[in-house]
């Protein structure tokens, strides 16, 4: 039965009514002779397929950092591929930060924890191709930093408080002997110490990523008056002292409120000082670190964070 340019028919097998377009006979003939467009299916290299299978092996055997993969010759036999394919697959996993590779008769891969530096570098290089602004960064910080700081309060140890107070002394322009770059970098280290004490790994990682972007990518122009930098540093130090005082009292809600005010003030200061994001890819050399000039942190705090975040050498002046 025609239905406005179509007709209704019933399938022989199911008895279900379907609507079929009522095309002219010429068009139906043309459509019958058309070849379907080829599907754009990406063919994975054999080494990529092997790398996927090794990942599956890691998951199924519940392997942990320090565990060894089967030897190369065993992987060759298991996957029925050449030595070159196995080595290419292992190299791919090494680039991803999942394994380290040793050579020799007993050579092969050892499972490692994915380095935070490498993960941050990948994320920052991804963001290089996005239109990220200062406003974008601080809009997220204003939401996450108060949550992060409040959540860290119950877990801060005396060693953490010593590290926080040392950081304040380094970034306060009224008493610090550090240069301007080191003062601004130490502002961000204060937030890394809080992040390390927070037990939420996803929140911690997200805030550490933002902190690393601030270190590496936010710079101020040479025309920014020194007085503005000093004013910014003094305000940061005052907020940091108040946050530490509230954290020592285990007042998580006060810490949350103070951090909210701190982030709002920092956003205004960075924009007033004409801070900008420099468009560049992060190099391996940018992730090299020098030891943090602060007291050692507690075992409990280190375990919560994985690894304490030492200071980085940076080009330009990172914002708070």
pLDDT digits (tens, 9 = 90+) for 213-232: 888 878 777 777 888 888 99
In the numeric block, which tokens belong to residue 101? Answer: 């590779």
Q: What integer pLDDT is reported at residue 278 of this predicted model?
A: 76
Q: At what angle do helices 201-217 and 116-128 cross, to 10 degrees?
A: 60
Q: What integer pLDDT is reported at residue 32 of this predicted model?
A: 56
Distances (CA, A) of 175 to 185, 231, 242, 283, 292: 16, 13, 17, 34, 19
In the numeric block, which tokens belong to residue 200? Answer: 């939420």
In the numeric block, which tokens belong to residue 80? Answer: 């029925």
Which domains, from first to last, does the chain contain? 47-111 (1.10.10.10), 117-305 (1.20.120.530)
Q: What percent of the chain has pLDDT over 70?
A: 72
Question: What is the overall mean pLDDT for the chain?
Answer: 79
In whole angstroms, what is the distance from residue 19 CA to residue 199 CA? 58
Residue pair 229/185 in contact (Cβ under 8 Å)? The answer is no
Higher pLDDT, 8 or 70: 70
Would you place residue 310 in the very low, low, confident or very high pLDDT band (cuts 50, 70, 90)? very low
In whole angstroms, what is the distance from residue 254 CA to residue 243 CA? 8
Residue pair 62/111 in contact (Cβ under 8 Å)? The answer is no
* Residue 187 confidence (pLDDT) above 50: yes
Rg (the chain; Cα; Å): 28
Residues forming beta bridges with residue 110, ordered by sequence position: 68, 100
* Residue 11 confidence (pLDDT) above 50: no
Cα within 13 Å of Cα(274), Cβ side: 6
* Residue 44 confidence (pLDDT) above 90: no
Higher pLDDT, 118 or 96: 96
Neighbours of 86 (CB within 10 A): 26
In the numeric block, which tokens belong to residue 277? Answer: 């994001």
Average pLDDT over residues 39-44: 60
Residues forming beta bridges with residue 111, ordered by sequence position: 99
Q: What integer pLDDT is reported at residue 30 of this predicted model?
A: 56
Characterize 6-38 residue by residue with b for buried, 16 or more Cβ atoms within 10 angstroms of its Cβ, and e for exposed.
Answer: eeeeeeeeeeeeeeeeeeeeeeeeeeeeeeeee
């Amino acid at each position: 039965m025609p239905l406005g340019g179509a007709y209704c028919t019933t399938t022989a097998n199911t008895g279900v009514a379907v609507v079929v377009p009522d095309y002219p006979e010429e068009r139906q003939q043309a459509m019958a002779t058309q070849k379907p467009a080829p599907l754009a299916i990406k063919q994975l290299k054999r080494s990529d397929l092997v790398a996927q299978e090794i990942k599956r092996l890691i998951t199924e055997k519940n392997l942990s950092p320090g565990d060894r993969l089967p030897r190369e010759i065993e992987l060759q036999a298991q996957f029925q591929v050449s030595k070159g394919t196995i080595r290419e697959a292992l190299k791919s996993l090494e680039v991803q930060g999942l394994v380290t590779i040793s050579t020799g008769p007993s050579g092969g891969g050892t499972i490692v924890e994915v380095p935070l530096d490498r993960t941050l570098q990948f994320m920052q290089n991804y963001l290089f191709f996005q239109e990220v602004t200062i406003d974008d960064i601080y809009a997220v910080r204003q939401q996450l930093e108060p949550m992060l700081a409040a959540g860290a309060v119950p877990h801060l140890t005396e060693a953490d408080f010593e590290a926080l107070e040392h950081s304040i002394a380094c970034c306060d322009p009224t008493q610090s002997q550090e240069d301007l770059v080191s003062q601004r970098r130490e502002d961000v280290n204060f937030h890394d110490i809080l992040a390390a004490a927070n037990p939420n790994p996803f929140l911690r990682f997200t805030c550490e990523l933002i902190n690393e972007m601030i270190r590496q990518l936010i710079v101020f122009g040479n025309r920014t008056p020194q007085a503005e930098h000093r004013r910014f540093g003094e305000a940061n130090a005052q907020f940091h002292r108040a946050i530490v005082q509230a954290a020592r009292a285990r007042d998580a809600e006060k810490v949350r409120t103070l951090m909210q005010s701190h982030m709002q003030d920092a956003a205004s200061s960075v924009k007033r000082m004409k801070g900008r994001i420099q468009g560049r890819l992060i190099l391996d050399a940018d992730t090299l670190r020098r030891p943090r000039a602060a007291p050692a942190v507690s075992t409990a705090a280190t375990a919560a964070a994985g690894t304490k975040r030492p200071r980085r050498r940076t080009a330009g002046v990172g914002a708070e």
